[in-house]
Amino acid sequence: MIWMFFGLMGLLSAILMAFLPLRAARADTAPAADGVGVFVDQLDEVERDLERGLISEDEARSATAEIKRRLLAASRRDTGHRAPSGGRSAIFVAALLVPLAAAGYYTLMGAPGVASAAFAERGAERAQAEQIADLSERLRERLESAPDGGPSEGWMLLGQTYLRMGRFDGAARAFATVAERDGEATSATFSLLAEALIAAESGIVTPRAERALERALTLDPSNPAASFYRAIALEQAGKLAEAHETLVARLEAAEGPAPWMQSFIAQANRIGEALDREPLTMADFAPMLVTQPRGPSAADVAAAQEMSEEDRSAFIRSMVDRLAARLEQQPEDLDGWLRLGNAYRVLGETDAARDAYLRAKPLLNNVPEADPRRGAVQDALAALDDRE
């Protein structure tokens, strides 16, 4: 029950931080080392939200920078300065920690596929859930009683906590608080608001949810969550072809394999079956290698590792074939031919690799003598000749 341990630790940390303002008159700031794990968990949460498409890359970078700034500030306070009592900072610290506890709650109580716990364990989990609910209510009260209405970060984190706990109406109210503030709402704010509204109506996309999705896509047309729920709205309106096209268009715009793509493909195939469309696979949306000159990212590798051997092979083959087709249309792309040659070498297709390098060789006349690509082509051709 390692996840129970982590959930309990998150809960205890959140409770401790929530009560710190009440004891500020006689409590010093905890050593920075005590909070390092919390900040690391926050960074992990940002990364997970980015992978799920809940936030954009710019938002992820901003959130990461802010968390690191707070970690540095915590380290500086460890030099002996006393912590400020109460106030906005205490509210936000508590807000940051609530989702960590909620993550433990969600893992134990709401994760699909997790085997049912023993009766005695379920009793302990229910007690934890009650404590988390109480802590969330304390955070809500603090945010509502704040003179300036409470920080937007606190409301967003409270909304995500409620969303994980299945308190969809409360989540919608929390997200709406930020959505109504000029200049503070992001695309993720509106897509999360839409998600909460849809969940509260048992999957029905209401007009209010549609308006939130429109705002989300206006702010960031690449927001995967907003595109997904937009497709659901179109399907519910009887516009199956448009819903299918919305999903496919977002898949085609993907810059690399991402976890959200599987959900899009499954939804598109379900709708496509009614339209008599051919089933889709990840290989149909493999990005061309030219978009990744430095090789696959960590997210690409992770996504590929989750595929079956058959899907992974098809995905790689599709990437290579698409690059080859593009180069036939754009034969002056030296780097493209080099990547194609390297890809064929990895696949063990020596004749195709040699042809790609030979197509690249005349293009070297336009590069400086010291350009390393000259040597790369010569070495590659020599290595292929040695194999024969």
Read off the pLDDT of residues 68-112 as tens digits, 9 standing for 90 and up.
666 555 544 443 443 333 444 444 444 444 444 334 333 333 333
Q: Is the pLDDT of residue 23 over 80?
A: no
Give the helix ranges, DSSP H, for the chain: 2-19, 32-51, 57-77, 87-109, 119-145, 152-165, 168-179, 187-200, 207-219, 224-236, 240-252, 260-274, 298-305, 309-329, 334-347, 350-360, 372-387
**pLDDT confidence of residue 386:** 72
Mean pLDDT of the chain: 73
- What would the pLDDT profile of 130-160 be if each residue is shown by its tens digit? 777 777 788 888 888 888 888 888 898 889 8
53: region left, alpha or beta (phi > 0 left; psi from -120 to 50 alpha): left
Same domain, 358 and 316: yes
Q: Is the pLDDT of residue 347 over 90?
A: no
pTM for the full predicted model: 0.51
Whether 315 is covered by a domain: the verdict is yes
**pLDDT confidence of residue 229:** 96
Give yes or no for a contact between 380 and 341, defined as CB atoms under 8 angstroms apart: yes
Q: Is the pLDDT of residue 164 over 50?
A: yes
Same domain, 286 and 302: no
Q: How far is CA 298 from the centre of its chain?
A: 13
Mean pLDDT of 11-22: 42
Higher pLDDT: 144 or 32? It is 144
Same domain, 264 and 302: no
State the CATH number of the domain containing residue 234: 1.25.40.10
Q: Is the pLDDT of residue 27 over 60?
A: no
Parent domain of 373: 298-386
Same domain, 184 and 285: yes
Whether 218 is covered by a domain: the verdict is yes
Same domain, 319 and 223: no
Domain boundary among 290, 317, 336: 290
Same domain, 256 and 339: no
**pLDDT confidence of residue 212:** 96
Same domain, 184 and 141: yes
Give yes or no for a contact between 281 and 311, defined as CB atoms under 8 angstroms apart: yes
Higher pLDDT: 268 or 5? It is 268
Q: Is the pLDDT of residue 316 over 60?
A: yes
Q: Is the pLDDT of residue 63 over 60?
A: yes
**pLDDT confidence of residue 242:** 95
**pLDDT confidence of residue 107:** 35
Same domain, 316 and 276: no
Higher pLDDT: 244 or 348? It is 244
* Structure tokens given for 320: 């290579």
Q: Is the pLDDT of residue 114 over 50?
A: no
**pLDDT confidence of residue 369:** 83
Q: 176 vs 14, 184, 357, CA distance in Å?
A: 24, 11, 57
Whether 117 is covered by a domain: the verdict is no
Torsion of CA 329, 334, 336, 341, to 10 degrees: 110
Give yes or no for a contact between 151 and 184, defined as CB atoms under 8 angstroms apart: no
Task: In whole angstroms, give the CA distance from residue 265 to residue 247.
Answer: 8
At 67, the pLDDT band (50, 70, 90 cuts) reads: low
Whether 85 is covered by a domain: the verdict is no
Q: Is the pLDDT of residue 18 over 60?
A: no
At 315, the pLDDT band (50, 70, 90 cuts) reads: confident
Domain boundary among 261, 290, 319: 290
Task: In whole angstroms, give the CA distance from residue 252 to residue 254.
Answer: 6
At 22, the pLDDT band (50, 70, 90 cuts) reads: very low
Higher pLDDT: 230 or 336? It is 230
Into how many domains does the chain fold?
2
**pLDDT confidence of residue 183:** 84
Same domain, 282 and 203: yes
Domain boundary among 290, 324, 354: 290
Mean pLDDT of 110-133: 56
Higher pLDDT: 254 or 42? It is 254
Same domain, 316 and 170: no
